[in-house]
Amino acid sequence: MSLPLRIVTLVVAFLAVVALALFVILHYLLGGPPRVAFGSGVAPDTGATVHVMLQEDPQNTVSTHPDWVSYFIQDPKTGKWVHTTLFSVPAGSKIDVTVLGYDGCTPLRNPFWGKITGTIGDVSVIDGKPMSVLNSWSGCNVAHTFSMPGIGLNVPIGSPPLTATLCGTSPCTSGPHTVNQFSFYSPRTPGQYFWQCRIPCGGGFIDGFGGPMQTIGFMTGNMDVVN
Ligand SMILES: [Cu+2]
């Protein structure tokens, strides 16, 4: 091999390694789901009322795991549904949440998770009806839960009827769904609050707790409380 050819080969090989390293860093280490910000974003934002809009779907056709159940968050600025479970709210504020429940039912493993706790009035209004508990053993009526142990919040999300034909393309914009509305106060001190669904909805994984249940962007995420 001639010297110029060797140099060219070496440079090309070097650039290929750099490109691969950049891809790994950007795609796998920094490429997590985005965080959707609620509130004015102008500090101090404490005492505001913000409206957080979520939906849960039978699938996630915008990801590399199209058969995984998933939450989505609506960006209040663009109105677009974002494939993420990360959001931020202002500290010490009233958080009005609406969850559109598009997924079908799965019985809760423990009926404890059917109790609505940590919301204002310990209720969730489902399709206009205030509920304090959903019994998913007497009727298959819970799709997922929105549970944040750090503030004692647990809200089972109602599901459409068993016979309904569920929305098949995410994020869902039509099809049978429930409208779940509840409010809670965000903590006064900034911090990160983990939330997760308590239904073992990771179909195809041991005990249903793998896959989407343990992956940010699907059934688990964080609420950042910011000042
Ligand atoms: Cu779930």
**Are 24 and 87 found together in one domain?**
no
**Are 80 and 151 found together in one domain?**
yes
Compute, in angstroms, the gap from residue 4 CA to the centroid of ligand 1. Answer: 59
Compute, in angstroms, the gap from residue 91 CA to the centroid of ligand 1. Answer: 27
Query: In this structure, what token pair is assigned to residue 149?
Result: 């142990």
Compute, in angstroms, the gap from residue 185 CA to the centroid of ligand 1. Answer: 23
**What pLDDT, on a 0 to 100 scale, did the predictor assign at position 74?**
98
**Are 132 and 22 found together in one domain?**
no
Compute, in angstroms, the gap from residue 202 CA to the centroid of ligand 1. Answer: 7
**Are 11 and 61 found together in one domain?**
no
Find the mean pLDDT for residues 13-27.
74
Task: Specify whether the CB–CB gap between 188 and 214 falls below 8 A.
Answer: no
pTM of the model: 0.86
Query: Domain containing 22: what range?
Result: 1-31
3-state secondary structure of 22: helix
**Are 10 and 43 found together in one domain?**
no
**Are 104 and 199 found together in one domain?**
yes
CATH of the domain at 66: 2.60.40.420
Model pLDDT for residues 62-102, shown as the tens digit of each residue: 999 999 999 999 999 999 999 999 999 999 999 999 999 99
The proportion of the chain whose per-residue pLDDT surpasses 90, expressed as a percent, equals 78
Give the end-to-end CA distance of the chain in Å, rounded to a whole number. 63
Nearby residues of 151 by Cβ (< 8 Å), 6 or more positions away: 118, 184, 187, 193
Question: Which of the four pLDDT bands, split at 50, 70 and 90, describes residue 26?
Answer: low
Compute, in angstroms, the gap from residue 82 CA to the centroid of ligand 1. Answer: 17
Residue whose pair of structure tokens reads 């309904």 in the numeric block:
164
Compute, in angstroms, the gap from residue 84 CA to the centroid of ligand 1. Answer: 14
**Are 76 and 17 found together in one domain?**
no
What mean pLDDT value characterizes the chain? 92
**What pLDDT, on a 0 to 100 scale, did the predictor assign at position 77?**
95
Type of residue numbered 58: P
**What pLDDT, on a 0 to 100 scale, did the predictor assign at position 130?**
98
Find the mean pLDDT for residues 3-30.
77
**Are 113 and 208 found together in one domain?**
yes
Compute, in angstroms, the gap from residue 12 CA to the centroid of ligand 1. Answer: 47
Model pLDDT for residues 29-47, shown as the tens digit of each residue: 667 899 999 997 666 667 7
**Are 18 and 86 found together in one domain?**
no
Q: Which of 44, 132, 128, 39 is nearest to 87 (CA)?
A: 39
**Are 21 and 42 found together in one domain?**
no
Query: In this structure, what token pair is assigned to residue 106?
Result: 């799965």
Find the mean pLDDT for residues 189-213.
92
- As for how many domains the chain has, the answer is 2
**Are 21 and 76 found together in one domain?**
no
**Are 9 and 80 found together in one domain?**
no
